[in-house]
Structure 1
Amino acid sequence: MAATKELKAQARSLVGKGAARELRRQGLIPAVIYGDKKSPVTISLPFKDAQRAIYDGGFLSHVITLDVDGTKHSVIPRDYQLDPVKDFAMHVDFLRVGKGTKLNVQVHVNFINEEASPGIKRGGTLNVVHHTLDLTVNADNIPDSIIVDLTGLDIGDAIHLSSIKLPAGVTDHSHEDDLTIATIVAPSALKSTEGGEAEATPAA
């Protein structure tokens, strides 16, 4: 699990489109903290900090600490809005995270040991079906990634969720039966050769 990031923020009392536009002119973006059976808190974030956090990757799958005028909140970003033309951050929604909170998040899949895959050595290609997995996790123990070991996999082999060892406390949230994560597919040259041989074989 990665170290928890911290963002500085400040409380705001004015809401609405006019107030949001004024914040953006000041280099801030509006945001809100909600959940955990507490009243929502409207805040503003420095534009540069929010923009960097969003584009660093994994923004919606990591718990962060929001320091709001000296009061710290443990939260996870649940949604954000971008300007449709410039891709600038416009608004962020944060969900409070209490002790023992379970979250549904998307976690990146990391494939290792390609050099130990006979299929890839023979020119096969790793065909990734799912780059991320929908998982239910403990808020205080969100994995950075799920590791898939390609050692020993040959052309035609498929990696299913059932063959992956998930970290303790992590469960599948995809609702699909034994999700296919990736396959090792034959190179196009091999496919062409096999196809040509099949066509050249006379009918019985």
Structure 2
Amino acid sequence: MVGSFEFDAELRSRTGKGDARRSRLQGKIPAIVYGGGADPVQLFLTHHKVAKALENEATYSHILTVKYDGKEEKVILKALQRHPARPIIMHIDFQRVNEKDKLHVHVPLHFINQETSVGVKKGGVVTHAVVEVEVVCLPQNLPEYIEVDLADLDIGDSIHLADLKLPAGVQIHALTQGPEHNLPVAAILATRATDTAE
């Protein structure tokens, strides 16, 4: 698994759309590493290796290592540009990580006990309002995902951001903006069949 979070790269000496287009034809992805009080670095990565790594959901919410020119940079995946019609990654943005600076990262939600929840057993249907949340934390506290337990949800019940159980040192960004941002995450709704039965 650790290998999934390491990317070998090469320095990109020239920039511009023409150079980027030629590099993609050679199976390379233009990328940039920025932030952390250092100058941005233009890079190339190997397309098939990156595509394989991105199949692992954890790649999007882990501290990654980018290796180039004898150096290693700790980064997070900040932006990913894909081709609108073809399975091609067009560009990647990496942001440097400083152990003392808090990160803002989108982390996936893993919904558990959906099929066995109280409301589903009565014929209700689970709806998801969001499938990821933006968290604020130090790099060492960054979770791979956040579990959302739906076991006790009945028909008509919902679970909100403030109800989520977070690891130590992790905050949900929206909740730092005020209680009005305590949005629903998931709910169990009655179906027509359930209404008829009642």
State the TM-score, normalized to the length of structure 1.
0.85
SS of the aligned residue for 1:38 comes to: coil
Matches within 5 A, 1:103-122: 103-114=103-114, 116-122=116-122
Aligned mates of 2:127, 2:99 — CA distance in 1: 39
- Cα gap change, 1:23/1:115 in structure 2, threshold over 3 Å: closer, same or farther? closer
* Matched residue, 1:200: none
Q: Judge conservation of contact 2:29–2:91 (CA < 8 Å) in 1.
A: yes
CA distance in 1, matches of 2:83, 2:90: 6
In the alignment, the residues of structure 2 paired with residue 66 and residue 157 of structure 1 have an alpha-carbon distance, to the nearest angstrom, of 44
Rounded to whole Å, the distance in 2 between the matches of 1:127 and 1:81 is 28
What do residues 111-159 of structure 1 show as CA deviations (whole Å, max 9, x unaligned)? Answer: 2223542211111111111111122122232212111222322111111
**1:39-61 deviation line (CA, Å, top 9, x unaligned):** 11111101111222334335443
Comparing 6-15 and 156-165, the one that deviates more: 156-165
User: Which residue in the other structure is 2:129 paired with?
Assistant: 129
CA RMSD of aligned residues (A): 2.0
Q: Within 1, Cα distance between the matches of 2:84 and 2:163?
A: 40
1:180 equivalent in alignment to 2:184: yes
Q: Are the structure 2 counterparts of residues 13 and 118 from structure 1 closer, same or farther at C-alpha, using a change threshold of 3 Å?
A: same
Hey, what does 1:141 align to over in structure 2? Answer: 141
Query: Which aligned pairs between 1:41-56 and structure 2 lie closer than 5 A?
Result: 41-56=41-56
Equivalent-residue separation in structure 1 for 2:22 and 2:156 (angstroms) = 57
Q: Give the length in aligned residue pairs.
A: 193
| Matched-pair identity in % | 40
Report SS of the residue matched to 2:57: coil
Q: Output the TM-score relative to the length of structure 2.
A: 0.87
- Which residue does the alignment assign to 2:8? 8
Structure 2: where are the runs of 5+ without partners? Answer: none
Structure 2 residue aligned with 1:168? 168
Closer/same/farther in 2, CA of residues 114 and 82 from structure 1, 3 Å limit: closer
Aligned to 1:33: 33
Kept after mapping to 2: 8 A contact 1:116/1:152: no
Aligned to 1:191: 195
| Bigger Cα Rg | 1
The CA distance in 2 between the partners of 1:117 and 1:7, in whole Å, is 41
Change (3 A) 1:161 1:25: closer
